[in-house]
Amino acid sequence: MTATTHAEHEEIAKSKQDGEALTWEDLTKMKLTWRVAQETLRMVPPIFGSFRRALEDIEFDGYVIPKGWQVFWAPCVTHMDPGIYHEPTKFEPSRFDNHAAAARPPYSFVAFGGGPRICPAMELARVETLVTMHYLVRHFRWRLCCGEKDNTFVRDPLPSPVNGLPVELDHIAPLRCS
Ligand code: HEM
């Protein structure tokens, strides 16, 4: 989280009484925070992929996928395509600015899947992420305890931090959630 993202939460907190719950409107103001979350989901999509069945013969990139065949789609293939995301290995939340996102082809961000079977809890996941991040940055300072080289993950098949990702948390403000 950058200082600007942090400021987004301070601004929301200013309008609140001590212990007052977040509202739907507050969540709509967490634009930078959601960009950080989306960029994280782009670089490390929790779901590795899923299957689709070809409903008709499809030609793709010179190959024919016959009707009835199963196809495995994997978000990281799309998310790491330099033709879609410039320097895809770089963490750059501004990729999700409205302007930049609108310039990309459809189905460029598929951490939640796409089409009729898209994750039905996508909005719930967004709310949970934003609320968690709000309380985390408002009430705690945290520090990664592992070195940069140990700060990596494996897939089993969900991404899982190799060393458990120990963090040191300092409680900096009273946490009274209603
Ligand atoms: C960051 C959080 C989450 C991510 C990245 C995520 C991602 C996904 C993906 C990629 C799919 C497959 C979509 C497709 O095949 O097109 C999926 C399906 C699904 N997700 Fe999520 N999900 C998240 C959170 C949740 C939560 C919190 C719930 C339930 C409370 C949930 C319930 C489901 C269900 C039931 C399906 C199956 C939908 C179907 O097959 O029609 N997901 N999710």
The residue whose CA has the least distance to atom 28 of ligand 1 is 121
Q: What is the CATH number of the domain that holds 18?
A: 1.10.630.10
> What DSSP assignment string belongs to 106-122?
TTS--TT--GGGS-TTH
The answer to the question of residue 178 being in a domain is no
Measured by CA distance, the residue closest to atom 32 of ligand 1 is 121
Q: Is the CB of 47 under 6 A from ligand 1?
A: yes
Our count of domains for the chain comes to: 1
Q: What does the pLDDT profile of the chain (178 residues) look like in tens digits?
A: 677 888 999 999 998 888 899 999 999 999 999 999 999 999 999 999 999 999 999 999 999 999 999 999 999 999 999 999 999 999 999 999 999 999 999 999 999 999 999 999 999 999 999 999 999 998 899 888 988 777 888 998 899 998 888 999 999 876 555 4
> Following CA atoms 84, 85, 87, 89 in sequence, which dihedral angle do they give, to the nearest 10 degrees?
-120
CB of 112 within 6 A of ligand 1: the answer is yes
Alpha helix locations (H) across the chain? 3-14, 24-28, 31-43, 75-79, 98-102, 122-139
In a domain, 46, yes or no: yes
- Taking the CA of residue 128 as reference, the ligand 1 atom at the shortest distance is 27
In the block, which residue shows the tokens 């770089």? Answer: 90
The model's pTM: 0.92
Q: Decide: 159 in ligand 1 pocket, CB within 6 A.
A: no
Q: Which domain holds residue 42?
A: 3-171
